[in-house]
Amino acid sequence: MAFMKYSGAEKDLTLDELEEFIRDARKAGADGRRYIYGMLSTNGKLKEVSVDLSEYEGDYC
């Protein structure tokens, strides 16, 4: 699997960083049906996001 990962510049992701991740993932070939994986920091904020860029055959899982 080929994953694209993003993390916040200062530990937690901002809305602008999340928007940049989505824009870059779409440029890399991810469509709107892809699932986004995420990790939360200890304070419950979004710390890291990733998306699987590998090719799927059939339905998304």
| Residue range 8-52, pLDDT digits in tens | 888 899 999 999 999 999 999 898 888 999 999 999 999 999 999
Q: What is the structure's pLDDT at 27?
A: 93
Helices of type H across the chain = 15-27
Q: How far apart are CA 32 and CA 43, in angstroms?
A: 28
Q: pTM for the whole thing?
A: 0.78
Bigger pLDDT: 56 vs 4: 4
Q: What is the structure's pLDDT at 61?
A: 46
Angstrom distances, CA of residue 38 to CA of 12, 34, 54, 58 = 11, 13, 17, 24
Q: How far apart are CA 6 and CA 20, in angstroms?
A: 9
Q: Assign residue 59 a region (left: φ > 0; alpha: ψ between -120 and 50; beta: otherwise).
A: beta
